[in-house]
Amino acid sequence: SYVLTQPPSLSVAPGETARIPCGASNIETKSVHWCQQKPGQAPMLVIHYDSGRPSGIPERFSGSSSGNTATLTISRVEAGDEADYYCHVWDSSGDHPVFGGGTRLTVL
Amino acid sequence: QMQLQESGPGLVKPSETLSLICSVSGDSISSYYWNWIRQPPGKGLEWIGYVSHSGHTNYNPSLKSRVAISLDTSKNQFSLSLTSVTAADTAVYYCARYKDGLDYWGQGSPVTVSS
């Protein structure tokens, strides 16, 4: 099964840039999607197809993918960005979605 | 605007069957992949399985012997059945659509397994 690796936690100061990695073998060959989950809420898609923003997602959220790492970038971080972030891809060999373990973003 | 809504009992006894329904509004269920995902307390997301618009199913191998997911196009709903539950099945259960990633989610249905 395809394994996605994320750091458990990341801390940034308000106004700074957060970069959340999602690592896997040749991840650049897959479409990577990112969900944000705030405490007590359901996950919400914030980036699809590596770098696309669904309707309503601020331009501060962006994504990229190269080699073995995909990255979710949040510019000018705000207190309201504090959440868990999960990357996911479609695993074509198992024919199902696969999640990373999630990264908790703390805004200092 | 598409919406998904889970419904079902919040408390299930050990060894019994957990049953949940996801009602879909704002779009037809006759396209894409319809998933169940769960999140144990304080933990990450675990994919349970999906049913496609054609009725094809695929399940997490770790749950495959206990899971069934089905589609009811007449009601625009899909359902989850998980048999022989234990305390380890205590979680928030989400239904979600997979089209451009997991792009629409229900609000979640907390389920506790306890006698």
Convert the pLDDT of each residue in B76-115 to its tens digit: 999 999 999 999 999 999 999 999 999 999 999 999 999 9
Per CB-CB distance under 8 Å, the chain A contacts of B46 are 99
Q: Contact, B96 vs B105, CB < 8 A?
A: yes
Best CA proximity match to A70, nearest among A14, A12, A2: A2
* Nearest CB neighbour to A86, from listed B45, B98, B108: B45
Q: Contact, A80 vs A86, CB < 8 A?
A: no
CA distance B36 to chain A (A): 11
Q: Contact, B91 vs B112, CB < 8 A?
A: no
Rounded to whole angstroms, the Cα distance separating A87 from A6 reads: 8
Q: Contact, A2 vs A92, CB < 8 A?
A: no
| pLDDT for residue A4 | 97
Rounded to whole angstroms, the Cα distance separating A35 from A47 reads: 7
| Average pLDDT for chain A | 97
Rounded (10°) CA dihedral A43, A46, A49, A53: 150
CB contact under 8 A, B46 and A99: yes
Q: Contact, A86 vs A32, CB < 8 A?
A: no
- Mean pLDDT to the nearest integer, A34-60: 97
- Mean pLDDT to the nearest integer, A1-8: 95
pLDDT digits (tens, 9 = 90+) for B44-75: 999 999 999 999 999 999 999 999 999 999 99
Per CB-CB distance under 8 Å, the chain A contacts of B103 are 45, 48, 54
Half-sphere exposure of B41 (CA within 13 A, CB side): 7
Per CB-CB distance under 8 Å, the chain A contacts of B50 are 96
| pLDDT for residue B42 | 96
Q: Is a pLDDT exceeding 90 seen at residue A21?
A: yes
Per CB-CB distance under 8 Å, the chain B contacts of A101 are 44
Rounded to whole angstroms, the Cα distance separating B28 from B12 reads: 30
CA distance B45 to chain A (A): 7
Of chain A, the percentage scoring pLDDT greater than 70 comes to 100
- Mean pLDDT to the nearest integer, A15-30: 96
CA distance B7 to chain A (A): 15
pLDDT digits (tens, 9 = 90+) for A77-104: 999 999 999 999 999 998 999 999 999 9
- Mean pLDDT to the nearest integer, A54-76: 97
Reported confidence tier of residue B30, pLDDT bands at 50, 70, 90:
confident
- Mean pLDDT to the nearest integer, B16-42: 96
Reported confidence tier of residue A1, pLDDT bands at 50, 70, 90:
confident
Q: Is a pLDDT exceeding 90 seen at residue A61?
A: yes
